[in-house]
Amino acid sequence: MPPFTESDNPQQYPFRKYAHMYILAILGITWTIIFRDVYLQQYLKDKMYISRTVNLGGRQRMLSQKLTKNAVLLRQVDAHEFEERKRIVQEDFEDWSQVHYDLQHGNKRLNIPSQNSAEIRAKFNELNPYFNGMSAVILDILQIPYGDPSLDAAVNKLLKVERDYLDSMDKVVFQYDHEAVQKMKKLNHLQWVMLIVALAILALEVVFIFWPTTAHIRKITDKLGESEQQAKRMYHELQGLYGKLEKAYKNEQAINSAIGKEHILGRMNPQGKLIYASKKLADWMGHERNALLIHFEDVFVTNNHEPGVLSAALSEAQSGELWHDQLLLHDADGNDLWLDVSLVPVSGNGKRVEKILILGANITTVKLLAAERATLELDEVQSAFKTHKERASFILFAQEEERKRIARDLHDGIGQMLTALKFELEAIDPYNGKRTEIKLAELRQPLRDLIIEVRRISHNLNPNVLTDYGLIPALRNFAKEMTQYSGKSIIFENQSGFNQRLSQITETNLYRIVQEAVNNALKYSEGECIEIVVAHNRTDLTIVIKDNGEGFDLSSVKEGNGLGNIRERTSYANGQCEIITSPTNGTQITVKVPI
């Protein structure tokens, strides 16, 4: 904005001065808010990292205790369960070691920061010897065979090192929590400073801008009051002139438009009797021209208006006004005839209407095309509605089938196991110590089977590995679990090394597709091997599920809700689904989705 000079209007100077001051005040408040919000966002991001890190620290405690517990149980199990328990210890040890590394060096995928404070790094330096000690003992335990006496010594050593590890891990977690509290205090202090600065700027605006501006505006308002009264008088005078001009312009425009796009169909006297009928009108109506020299209302018998419309039109034309509408008539053969009709009055020297021109255009084809288009649009809407209903039915059926499967698993699996355990426990004689000890030993295997069944059902409902680590680890774990559960060979292969994370809804849909396809193969194919193959390129991810079972004739079999559910989930992921099958040649389902 240029500075004020003497040649400017003196009344404009206060506004320019206040405008400069107001802009500076607004900029001050704006930068205060921006600075506060940027700092707050950074704090919330750090708080999210710390919360995630504290949760992982708690998980490390749980995993270390779980490792120790399973190591202790190795001394109490038989040879078969010994190997299964070692496998669990191996998996937990890998997770425990990975999280320990991520806490120190960061993991973008898990939102763990890569830079720790000097205090936290010092705490980790104290923790690492205990971690290394536990790691070495666990690795030694994993190498000890069943029945080796050295297992007891290794387990005792692990119990001793674990206590030191837990104490040191608590110090790391407490340091993270302490740093979070300090950042919160700093944030609160900064918010108070920003609030005081904003209030001070607002107070200065009131004193040096708003109050002087209000006084100056009050003076100008008094002067504007006089001008307002004069403007109102001029407005009313101009309104009358504009109304007359607009009416004349509309009539001229309507006449020019009608003459430009329509034919002259006829001419009639002011009483409404046709004194001339064009050949075009006679051809459209299918009558002789002389037969049309009758009253206007007898010629243009309309079927799309209420009675009296033509009389009103004639009266309007007799008063010198232009009339226009679309009329549905019938020709001599009874066919529909749509005409776009205008009545244009023609006045003489005395401004009386001497004759009325009938202008019109045949719009029958346009009307028929519009009706056909409306029918097509209605068909499209009905088709889309039908497709939506089918998709909804697939979803409802899939949900109902999932409920039935859960109920069946609970009844046939856990329910029967619990019933058997109940009868076994009731059969125990508390007064027969030896027999009671034998019975309790026999109950260990059913209890282990019950735990495995509960884990399987929980994993099928919501696999935690899918949420935490992504699609590929979840599919690999699913193949391993289903192999153990079904006794069939379920092979997972990641041909292209795909390791990206997709959106949560896409990963869930792809996991459920594979789950549905594998369950269908186990239920119907009677094959011995099922393969899950993942491959990707720059734009697409492809998942193939194939079995060596019986297969079926896809062209002669209506797709059930299982295959329909697979297609619908693929559609929700904006992908493509292909099913290839034939009798005795197995079934292959290929799903391709964009990355």
CB-count exposure of residue 240 (10 Å: 0-12, 13-18, 19+): exposed
Residue 44 has pLDDT above 60, yes or no: yes
pLDDT tens per residue across span 49-82: 667 777 777 788 888 888 888 888 888 888 888 8
Residue 248 has pLDDT above 60, yes or no: no
Neighbours of 319 (CB within 10 A): 10
pLDDT tens per residue across span 516-569: 899 889 888 888 999 999 999 999 999 999 999 988 888 777 666 578 888 888
CA dist list (Å): 95 to 124, 161, 455? 18, 19, 18
Do residues 544 and 588 touch, judged by C-beta distance below 8 A? Answer: yes
**SS3 labels along 189-244:** HHHHHHHHHHHHHHHHHHHHHHHHHHHHHHHHHHHHHHHHHHHHHHHHHHHHHHHH
User: What does the pLDDT read at residue 535?
Assistant: 96
Q: Which residues contact 590 (CB under 8 A, 6 or more apart)?
A: 542, 543, 544, 577, 578, 579, 580
75: tokens are 């001394």
CA dist list (Å): 466 to 200, 202, 273, 502? 53, 52, 85, 11
Do residues 285 and 331 touch, judged by C-beta distance below 8 A? Answer: yes
Neighbours of 228 (CB within 10 A): 10
Do residues 320 and 347 touch, judged by C-beta distance below 8 A? Answer: yes
Output the DSSP codes for 362-404.
Answer: E-HHHHHHHHHHHHHHHHHHHHHHHHHHHHHHHHHHHHHHHHH
User: What does the pLDDT read at residue 393?
Assistant: 58
Identify which has the larger pLDDT, 440 or 161: 161
Collapse the DSSP code of 257 into the 3-class scheme (helix H, G, I; strand E, B; otherwise coil) and give the result. helix
Main-chain phi, psi angles of 216, to 5 degrees: -70, -40
Output the DSSP codes for 96-114.
Answer: HHHHHHHHHH-BGGGTB-S
User: CA-to-CA distance for 20 and 14, rounded, in angstroms?
Assistant: 10
User: CA-to-CA distance for 410 and 454, rounded, in angstroms?
Assistant: 9
Element (H, E) at 459: helix 444-461
CA dist list (Å): 498 to 52, 176, 470, 478, 537? 26, 34, 11, 17, 9
Residue 423 has pLDDT above 80, yes or no: no
Strands 540-547 and 529-536: antiparallel
Collapse the DSSP code of 529 into the 3-class scheme (helix H, G, I; strand E, B; otherwise coil) and give the result. strand
pLDDT tens per residue across span 91-100: 888 888 888 8
Do residues 414 and 453 touch, judged by C-beta distance below 8 A? Answer: yes
The neighbouring-strand residues paired with 267 are: 276, 357
User: What does the pLDDT read at residue 47?
Assistant: 63
Collapse the DSSP code of 274 into the 3-class scheme (helix H, G, I; strand E, B; otherwise coil) and give the result. strand
Residue 432 has pLDDT above 90, yes or no: no
Q: Rounded mean pLDDT of 281-291?
A: 89
Do residues 246 and 266 touch, judged by C-beta distance below 8 A? Answer: no
Q: Rounded mean pLDDT of 11-19?
A: 59
Q: How many CA atoms does the CB half-sphere of 196 hold within 13 Å? A: 6
User: What does the pLDDT read at residue 498?
Assistant: 94
User: What does the pLDDT read at residue 151?
Assistant: 86
User: What does the pLDDT read at residue 404?
Assistant: 63
Averaged pLDDT score across all residues of the chain: 80
CB-count exposure of residue 541 (10 Å: 0-12, 13-18, 19+): buried
Closest to 480 measured CA to CA, from 88, 110, 89 = 88
Neighbours of 523 (CB within 10 A): 9
User: What does the pLDDT read at residue 486?
Assistant: 84
